[in-house]
Amino acid sequence: MTIEVIRGKGTPTSHLPFSPAVKAGDFVFVSGQASVDETGKIVNDTFEGEFRRSLENTRKILDAAGLTFANVVQVRSYIDNPADLPEYNKLYRDYFKEPFPARTTIVNCLGGALKYEVDVTAYAGK
């Protein structure tokens, strides 16, 4: 099996040792995407602002792989403040439609530096 690194135009870079995404077989595994700019600098915002920036960074990577949110089969979300869960569930529907991907949501986990982070797995088969 060949493992291919996925990078795209405008995809945030990081000084940390990981790839934005890798394709292995028919699946694309997108690393955690947060509210960062193209240089990897954190952009603090409201919960909605950080959520949308994180998902738009994810969209750039999916685009580079020739995929869309409709190809996503697994979502893992990390939310710093449990009080943001109702807004999260509302905003989530702006990006993911039925049949919804499998999902895991973890709270109280980002240490205050970020309000939201997400990683996804997408199916790239026929």
Q: Which pLDDT score, from 0 to 100, does residue 101 have?
A: 98
Kindly give, in sequence order, each residue whose CB lies less than 8 Å from that of residue 90, ignoring residues fewer than 6 positions away.
none
Q: Which pLDDT score, from 0 to 100, does residue 4 have?
A: 94
Tens of pLDDT, residues 43-55: 999 999 999 999 9
- Structural domain range at position 63: 3-123
Q: Which pLDDT score, from 0 to 100, does residue 5 have?
A: 94
Bridge partners of 106? 78
CATH of the domain at 19: 3.30.1330.40
> What is the number of domains present in the chain?
1
Task: Write the burial class of residue 26 (CB in 10 Å: 0-12 exposed, 13-18 middle, 19+ buried).
Answer: exposed
Q: Which pLDDT score, from 0 to 100, does residue 9 have?
A: 83
| Cα distance between residue 8 and residue 65, in whole Å | 8
Q: Which pLDDT score, from 0 to 100, does residue 117 have?
A: 98
Nearest residue to 61 via CA among 4, 99, 10: 10
Claim: this prediction has a pTM higher than 0.85: yes
Q: Which pLDDT score, from 0 to 100, does residue 10 have?
A: 83
Tens of pLDDT, residues 28-38: 999 999 999 99
Q: Which pLDDT score, from 0 to 100, does residue 15 have?
A: 84
Kindly give, in sequence order, each residue whose CB lies less than 8 Å from that of residue 57, ignoring residues fewer than 6 positions away.
11, 12, 33, 34, 36
Q: Which pLDDT score, from 0 to 100, does residue 11 have?
A: 86
Which regions of the chain are under pLDDT 70? none
Q: Which long-range contacts (CB under 8 A, 24 or more apart) does 11-14 make?
A: 11/38, 11/57, 11/60, 11/61, 11/64, 12/36, 12/37, 12/38, 12/39, 12/40, 12/57, 13/38, 13/39, 13/40, 14/40
Nearest residue to 41 via CA among 114, 124, 123: 114
Q: Which pLDDT score, from 0 to 100, does residue 8 have?
A: 83
Q: Which pLDDT score, from 0 to 100, does residue 13 have?
A: 84
